[in-house]
Amino acid sequence: RLGTYVAASFSRQNESDADELGLLLTSLACFDIKAGALVHEKLSKLSGDHSTKLTDTHPSSMERKIILAELAAVHETDRVTNPAFSQYQRDCLNKREAWAQSIFAVRKK
């Protein structure tokens, strides 16, 4: 039984690490990094979120919402204070907008 608790705890940490990596990838793709916390907040409300049990392999949606919101706030502060990253995001947004316009131009033909 102890192995079950250790494995569940390890899995929850893996899921939290994956959430953080997802947030960073979301940011690099110039999408809204606050959306992950909103998704987990909605999931929590829909599922009647329970506190995490020792054997659960994933953090609860409410735990994930809190962690993602905290990570997004830290990341947003880093983004604002790092001029190179801010320029990267501006470039990324411009490229994404140009790509979207090219898609619409193709569809109009």
Which amino acid, 25? L
Q: What is the pLDDT of residues 18-74, one digit of tens each?
A: 888 888 888 777 778 888 888 888 888 887 766 556 557 778 888 889 888 998 888
pLDDT of amino acid 4 = 57
Which letter does DSSP use for residue 38 in this model? Answer: H
pTM assigned to the model:
0.60
Question: Tokens for 38?
Answer: 């909103």
